[in-house]
């Protein structure tokens, strides 16, 4: 078992809490003294950094929302002078203003260190050849893994997204051992390999997949591990977690035990909050993930409301790491959630049900519409190639969806390769309802 920083990663929980208290005080002081937005927000809540006496006192601090980043775009959340900034990343800004995050040289190094931590936890080393198929550019995936893999000492091939056949040829020619990409792209790669007559077990050397940037199920993991030949080469597919507001990828990562994402507690403080009451949920309960940056230099965020739904486990992992874990990863986004006839439906739950049926392929989508006064939900899913499906399959899926989600859905089985494919994040929900 390799560590980036064994002392920190395996620190006894009580010592980690003490360390977190020290870091919490220091970051609260930093934003209070250096950032006008936070000084005003602290004053509105009637709190000063010195009022933090225990880690639980974090609940006295204000939340930071995505809207605050938009309203203060582009420079308003900086806590360092402009001359120390060396990079900006921007969100895509699908609606209205984008959001911007800043990095100092120290931030770039911390970020790379966290990727090294993730890579070592999954069993990667300087001997690996890393094909980085995350997008390079304003999105943090590509550059994050690039700097991290170089810091690890591995050989990096910056392929970025697209050009799938070429990617597969490169994998073969350079004996690539590590692939980084989204789960939907991993599946698309495997499907393309099959069409090209390439057998990943025999013809390729892929051992480790760093798969993330969108939620995926355990069943999808097994398929990716199998389809890309990762298990056959002694490795696996490992989830990782991040968002540009915290650093980029590197906020959390899975170890080889695959018992959930470790959220690195020496860099981030994890809270799981009830979206209604804004109070912490009980142990083992579902809520919205809220993170505080301890080590971000340019632009630390206090209690950042991420909107991802998760469940935290504070028990140490069998690998020896003591930081909090998300055993089920990300269950969905609070804003991905669709309410169908009053029931909360997460795309990840629909996928979980679909993956139980071996006759089905990976491509699927759900369409929400309104017929008269009633919502309707239709799940469209492709059958696998060379698989016969009987007339009863759609009905069995329908019953399983009803049993698991408590929602009635029409199920349509489509022919292979008829639903849209995505090289980035897959779009699973099509909401055709018109709300007044």
Q: Which residues bind Zn ion (CB under 5 A)?
A: 255, 257, 317, 319, 321
Query: What are the backbone dihedrals phi and psi of residue 141, each rounded to the nearest 5 degrees, phi first?
Result: -55, -55
Distance CA 95, CA 104 (A): 28
Residue 114 CA neighbour count, 13 Å, CB half:
28
DSSP codes, 302-361: SSEEEEEEE--B-SPPTTS--S-EETT-EEEETTT-EEETTEEE-HHHHHHHHTT-TTEE
Rounded to a whole number of angstroms, the minimum distance from the CB of residue 118 to Zn ion is 11
Alpha helices by DSSP H, 130-230 = 140-152, 164-173, 183-195, 200-203, 218-227
Rounded to a whole number of angstroms, the minimum distance from the CB of residue 252 to Zn ion is 11
Token pair belonging to 289: 């993930």
Identity of the residue, 118 or 198, whose beta carbon is nearer to Zn ion in the bound complex:
118
Identity of the residue, 235 or 424, whose beta carbon is nearer to Zn ion in the bound complex:
235
Rounded to a whole number of angstroms, the minimum distance from the CB of residue 325 to Zn ion is 7
Nearest to 244 by CA among 166, 281, 299: 299
Identity of the residue, 252 or 347, whose beta carbon is nearer to Zn ion in the bound complex:
252
Identity of the residue, 123 or 242, whose beta carbon is nearer to Zn ion in the bound complex:
123
Contact 241, 357 (CB under 8 A): no
Distance CA 28, CA 48 (A): 8
Rounded to a whole number of angstroms, the minimum distance from the CB of residue 3 to Zn ion is 11
Distance CA 90, CA 425 (A): 17
DSSP state of 415: P
Identity of the residue, 313 or 400, whose beta carbon is nearer to Zn ion in the bound complex:
313
Token pair belonging to 363: 């491509």
Rounded to a whole number of angstroms, the minimum distance from the CB of residue 256 to Zn ion is 8
Rounded to a whole number of angstroms, the minimum distance from the CB of residue 317 to Zn ion is 3
Identity of the residue, 107 or 266, whose beta carbon is nearer to Zn ion in the bound complex:
266
Rounded to a whole number of angstroms, the minimum distance from the CB of residue 259 to Zn ion is 6
Identity of the residue, 118 or 213, whose beta carbon is nearer to Zn ion in the bound complex:
118
Identity of the residue, 188 or 238, whose beta carbon is nearer to Zn ion in the bound complex:
238
Location of structure tokens 């309410």: 339
Contact 224, 200 (CB under 8 A): no
Distance CA 378, CA 411 (A): 6
Location of structure tokens 């208290």: 21
Q: Say if residue 361 is exposed, middle or buried (CB neighbours under 10 Å; 0-12, 13-18, 19+).
A: buried
Rounded to a whole number of angstroms, the minimum distance from the CB of residue 275 to Zn ion is 28
Distance CA 186, CA 433 (A): 32
Distance CA 249, CA 142 (A): 9
Rounded to a whole number of angstroms, the minimum distance from the CB of residue 267 to Zn ion is 16
DSSP state of 265: T
Number of CB atoms found within 10 A of residue 303's CB: 17
Rounded to a whole number of angstroms, the minimum distance from the CB of residue 314 to Zn ion is 13
Nearest to 300 by CA among 337, 247, 344: 247
Token pair belonging to 244: 């540009």
Identity of the residue, 257 or 367, whose beta carbon is nearer to Zn ion in the bound complex:
257
Identity of the residue, 121 or 366, whose beta carbon is nearer to Zn ion in the bound complex:
121
Identity of the residue, 206 or 319, whose beta carbon is nearer to Zn ion in the bound complex:
319
Rounded to a whole number of angstroms, the minimum distance from the CB of residue 323 to Zn ion is 9
């Amino acid at each position: 078992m390799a560590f980036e920083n064994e002392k920190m990663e395996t620190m006894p929980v009580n010592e980690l809490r003490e360390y977190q208290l020290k870091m919490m005080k220091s970051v609260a002081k930093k934003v209070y003294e250096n950032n006008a937005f936070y000084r005003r927000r602290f004053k509105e809540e009637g709190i000063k950094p010195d009022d933090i006496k225990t880690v639980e006192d974090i609940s006295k601090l204000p939340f930071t929302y995505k809207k605050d980043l938009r309203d203060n775009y582009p420079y308003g959340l900086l806590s360092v002078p402009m001359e120390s900034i060396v990079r900006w990343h921007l969100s895509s800004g699908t609606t209205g203003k984008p959001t911007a995050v800043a990095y100092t040289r120290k931030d770039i190094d911390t970020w790379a260190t966290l990727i090294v931590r993730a890579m070592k936890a999954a069993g990667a080393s300087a001997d690996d050849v890393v094909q980085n198929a995350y997008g390079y550019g304003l999105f943090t995936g590509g550059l994050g893994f690039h700097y991290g893999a170089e810091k690890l000492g591995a050989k990096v091939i910056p392929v970025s997204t697209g050009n799938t056949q070429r990617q597969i040829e490169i994998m073969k020619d350079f004996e690539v051992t590590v692939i980084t990409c989204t789960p939907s792209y991993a599946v698309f790669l495997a499907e393309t390999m099959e069409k090209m007559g390439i057998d990943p077990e025999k013809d390729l050397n892929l051992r480790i997949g760093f798969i993330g940037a969108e939620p995926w199920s355990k069943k999808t993991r097994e398929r990716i591990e199998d389809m890309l030949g990762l298990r056959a080469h002694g490795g696996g597919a490992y989830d990782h977690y991040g968002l540009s507001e915290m650093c980029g990828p590197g906020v959390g990562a899975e170890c080889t035990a695959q018992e959930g994402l470790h959220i690195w507690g020496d860099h981030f403080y994890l809270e799981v909050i009830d979206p209604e009451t804004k109070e912490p949920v009980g142990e083992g309960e579902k809520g919205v993930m809220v993170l505080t940056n301890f080590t971000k230099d340019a632009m630390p965020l206090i209690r950042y409301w991420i909107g991802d739904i998760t469940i935290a486990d504070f028990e140490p992992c069998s690998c020896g790491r003591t930081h909090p874990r998300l055993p089920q990863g990300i269950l969905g986004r609070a804003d991905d959630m669709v309410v169908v006839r009053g029931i909360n439906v997460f795309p990840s739950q629909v996928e979980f049900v679909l993956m139980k049926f071996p006759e089905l392929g990976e491509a699927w989508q759900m369409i929400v519409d309104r017929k008269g006064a009633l919502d309707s939900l239709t799940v469209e899913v492709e059958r696998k190639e060379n698989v016969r499906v009987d007339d009863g399959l759609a009905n069995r899926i329908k019953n399983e969806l009803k049993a698991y989600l408590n929602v009635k859905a029409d199920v349509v089985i489509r022919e292979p390769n008829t639903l849209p494919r995505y090289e980035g994040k897959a779009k699973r929900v099509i909401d055709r309802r018109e709300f007044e």
